[in-house]
Chains A and B, each alone.
Chain A
Amino acid sequence: MTDVDEAITRAHQEEWARVVASLTKRFGDLDIAEDAAAEAFTVAVERWPLDGVPPNPGAWLTTTANRRAIDRIRRESKRDDKQKEAVALAQIQGPDEPSLDERSVIEDDRLRLLFTCCHPALAPEARIALTLRMVGGLTVPEIAKAFLVQETTMGQRITRAKNKIKAAHIPYRVPEAADLPERVSGVLAVLFLVFNEGYLSSGDHENSVRSDLTLEAIRLTRLVRVLLPEDGEVAGLLALMLLIEARRTARVSATGELVRLDEQDRGSWDLALIAEGHALVRERLAAVANGGSRPGRYQILAAINAVHTSVRDARDTDWSQIVALYDQMLRVDASPIVRLNRAIAVAELDGPEVALAEIDRLDLDGYHAFHATRADLLRRLGRSGESRAAYDRAIELAENAAEVALLTRRRDQLGRI
């Protein structure tokens, strides 16, 4: 990669959302903002290798995108007053990058953009697609590939979402304080879905765009953290993602089999990501101890992952602390899946029999992890026949190839009866 290529990649990562956000604010139209931002980057790819990288790439891109947007609005006569006004204003002031003290307003614009893309009136899959396009700057083909759908389908999904935002007047602003916690949790849900989509595909070497989604989700969550530094759940989600991402290479073997946490090569964990995740968890623990709001789902999950990643040997894991954290989690979300995960920790603390009694009460027959957990507990109890049947069911339900490989090997290790 040449220096110019690198500068363009960096500018894309750092400036895309800013350019889209400031143009959306100015022209009141996501479509214009998206197209003009894309055009500005195309011009950068053409010009920068010839003219050199401008001293302030962000300002250059915003100016270029603004000019493109204005050209387009002039070309199309059917434009509303807000856009005509923006053009008129640009003629007086020049379409230049705002001064540095206006930078905080720009941060605010990116936040508006995020809240608009994750608005609850949009379908969940549209929120994900729109966030990756408008805030993340991924192209439609990239998003389509990552979510394993046709490019035209993904294009339509994004277009429909933009049309709804316009027609239904979904506002372009940060929600009122009273609505903020709920709306932030909506944004975090979108980011976690993006992360999980990438995480679940790890081991799927055919499709690196898909596994890159974890990095994209982390990047966007870092951005939200910059914009909402006081929010505990934002910090919690970032910590959770970092602590999961830290184990990425250890999670799938060279032969493409899922490696369980207790069997992972802990020497290959990313210590920098773990240290960052732990620091965030400590920050939240201190905040809660100082009378901050009670930790939500992401902070608790991050804490659980922090316990797992704080020991070099799986046998030193503090299971009582993990069970205690799952008890906290049950107060936030008393779902059978949380109970299942709690039971896995209980098995380490009180033995497989106690854990099995707990999970046999759960109504999770359609969930592969339920059967995989049962299979494992039954194997440990020497109930081989039942264990085999549970592995069979888990393999039948599992979708991830790496997981199927692990479950198959486990099942085939059982002696013949």
Chain B
Amino acid sequence: MAKYLMSVWGPDSDYEKEHYGYASQEEMMASFEATGKFNDKLQEEGYFVFADGLDAAKTATVVDGMGDKPVITDGPYAEAKEYMAGFWIIDVPDLDVALKLAAEASAACLGKVEVRPMQTGVEA
């Protein structure tokens, strides 16, 4: 089995919009429901490790603990147009399974999904 991070991205300004960047309240609720169903399915199939949505990137804090004293900075690590807005960690047999799940995840949450392998959890 191999673990992957599936992430969804979007502009930070979406968090301030009325429907978090969705076209309407209905669309947002339908997407939440579809994503919930997708998560249930992941659980049933035994692929689910963890999933959650993230709060806005501007609520992030960066800590540099490499010096004598930790240096704390407000804001995300990198300035970007779009930030990770939510993610899943899945544990599946191979990339083909991950890509299939990512297609379902993308359709449910209405965003492109990046699939990135993890270095750990690799079956030898």
Near A by CB (< 8 A), chain B positions 66-116 give 93-96, 98-99, 115
Q: Known: A167-B117, A168-B117, A169-B2. Contact between A82 and B124, CB under 8 A?
A: yes
Q: Are B2 and A121 in touch, CB under 8 angstroms? A: no
B94/A169 in contact, CB under 8 A: yes
Choose among A81, A167, A175 the residue that contacts B96 (Cβ–Cβ < 8 A). Answer: A175
Q: Which residue of A lies closest to B99 (CB)?
A: A121
With CB as the reference atom, state the residue of chain B lying closest to A85: B124
Chain A residue contacts of B119, Cβ below 8 A? 167
Q: Is the CB of B96 within 8 A of A171?
A: yes
Q: Which residues of A contact B99 (CB under 8 A)?
A: 120-121
Cβ of A82: which chain B residues have Cβ within 8 Å of it? 124
**Residue A259 interfacial (CB < 8 Å):** no
CB of A80 within 8 A of CB of B124, answer yes
List chain B residues, Cβ under 8 A from A170: 94-96
CB neighbours of B95 from chain A (8 A): 119, 121, 168-171
Q: Please, which residues of chain B bring their CB within 8 A of the CB of A169?
A: 2, 94-95, 98, 117, 122
Which residues from B are CB-within-8-Å of A179?
Answer: 96
Complex alpha-carbon distance, A171 and B94, angstroms: 6
CA distance A167 to B2 in the complex (A): 10
Expressed in whole angstroms, the Cα–Cα distance for A31 and B119 within the complex equals 19
Chain A residues with CB below 8 A from B2, complex form: 169
Cα distance, A80 to B99, chains bound together (Å): 25
Q: Which residues of A contact B (CB under 8 A)?
A: 80-82, 119-121, 167-171, 175, 179
B contact residues vs A (CB 8 Å cutoff): 2, 93-96, 98-99, 115, 117, 119, 122, 124
Cross-chain pairs A/B with CB under 8 angstroms, 19 sampled? A80-B124, A81-B124, A82-B124, A119-B95, A120-B99, A121-B95, A121-B99, A167-B117, A168-B95, A168-B115, A169-B94, A169-B95, A170-B94, A170-B95, A171-B93, A171-B94, A171-B95, A171-B96, A175-B96
Kindly list the 9 A-B residue pairs having the minimum CB-CB distance in the complex, ordered from nearest: A81-B124, A171-B94, A169-B2, A80-B124, A168-B117, A169-B94, A170-B95, A169-B95, A168-B95
In the complex, given contacts A80-B124, A119-B95, A171-B94, what are 14 additional A-B residue pairs having Cβ atoms less than 8 angstroms apart? A81-B124, A120-B99, A121-B99, A167-B117, A167-B119, A168-B95, A169-B2, A169-B117, A169-B122, A170-B94, A171-B95, A171-B96, A175-B96, A179-B96
